[in-house]
Amino acid sequence: MADAKQGILQKAAAFLSGLVIGTLGGLIGLGGAEFRLPVLISGFRFAALEAIILNKTMSLIVVASAILFRSTTIPFGEIAEYWMVIFNLLAGSLIGAWLGASLATKLKTKTLYRTIALLLVLIAGVLLVGHFAATAYVAPLDEGALRVVIGVLAGVIIGMFASIMGVAGGELLIPTLILLFAVDIKLAGSLSLVISLPTMLTGFARYSQDNSFKVIGRNKVFVLVMAIGSIAGAAIGSALLGMVPDYVLLPILAGILLISAYKIWTHE
């Protein structure tokens, strides 16, 4: 009886956590995986690598759903017109995703915690600086070999980041699409999802070779419940988009990430 009650409470906590996290992400046009990873580690007490794998599993579900939802406003035909940009970034992100997952499986647990903490600090900085930079006009690089090379290198970095954190990588992809390829911010959101899906699948395939991958089977109901909460939250956050000014919202979210980074850095 006690175990059944505990299981129900855990599922309820998973759904509510996913709902809040998805709402936070939706408010800034992201999936919320950046906030979900610290909760999996500090709140639900999963080990670092297990938390990354669970986070990536839920990110896959959320991103696949988001692609379908956004197709009603930005059709796939419009996305297909940017196939060269997609393949340019994918050429690097697929490699980076495999390398990032390989690195994560080899790092010592304490080192992985501290790597996650540092990346959370990076995301906090991107939220504060990158979002505002993305709304400003910056003349893109001219089409040519240099832009292709920079796109591939950016893809490698983004792919590694996404794999190590178990996230989609939209916080880095969207500014890259806007600043490097002069893509409209709304279209950049859809393009980032299309790029993220195969990138995450590549990292997922690498993680499947590690013993920690079994954590999905042991927690499949937990994953599904939290993912559903995240999708519902993302829809709520998207509906509330623009109601809270960026200059108020972004520092608060960055602060949450910095506190999470500290807790994970000191996590035993």
Q: Decide: 96 and 156 in contact? Cβ < 8 Å.
A: yes
Contacts of 153 (CB under 8 A, 6+ apart): 92
| Ordered DSSP codes for 27-75 | HTTS-SHHHHHHIIIIIS---HHHHHHHHHHHHHHHHHHHHHHHTTTS-
160 vs 177: CA distance, rounded Å = 17
Structural domain count, the chain: 1
247 in a structural domain: yes
Contact 4, 30 (CB under 8 A): no
Q: What would the pLDDT profile of 90-118 be if each residue is shown by its tens digit?
A: 999 999 999 999 999 999 989 999 999 99
- The structure's pTM equals 0.87
In this structure, is residue 179 part of a structural domain? yes
Tell me, what's the pLDDT at 226? 94
57 belongs to a structural domain: yes
What is the secondary structure of 71-128 as a DSSP string?
A: TTTS-HHHHHTTHHHHHHHHHHHHHHHHHHHHHHHHS-HHHHHHHHHHHHHHHHHIII
Q: What is the pLDDT of residue 29?
A: 63
What value does the CA radius of gyration of the chain take, rounded to a whole number of Å? 18
Q: Is 184 left (phi over 0), alpha (psi -120 to 50) or beta?
A: beta
Q: How many whole angstroms separate alpha carbon 84 and alpha carbon 176?
A: 14
- The SS3 of residue 179 is helix
> Tokens at residue 81, please?
């017109």
Residue 141, in any domain of the structure: yes
Residue pair 265/115 in contact (Cβ under 8 Å)? The answer is: no
* Residue 3 within a domain: no
Distance CA 157, CA 96 (A): 6
Inside any domain, residue 215: yes
In a domain, 2, yes or no: no
| CA-wise closest residue to 230 among 49, 38, 67, 65 | 65
Residue 32 lies inside a defined structural domain of this protein: yes
Q: What is the pLDDT of residues 156-186, one digit of tens each?
A: 999 999 999 988 888 888 888 888 888 887 7
Per-10-residue mean pLDDT of the chain, 268 residues long, equals 71 92 76 87 92 92 82 82 94 96 92 93 83 56 81 95 89 85 82 91 93 92 93 81 72 87 86
Q: Helical H runs in 170-265?
A: 170-181, 185-207, 215-218, 220-239, 246-265
Query: Which residue segment(s) compose the domain that 134 sits in?
Result: 9-265
Spatial distance between the Cα atoms of 23 and 230, rounded to a whole number of angstroms: 7
d(CA 249, CA 253): 6
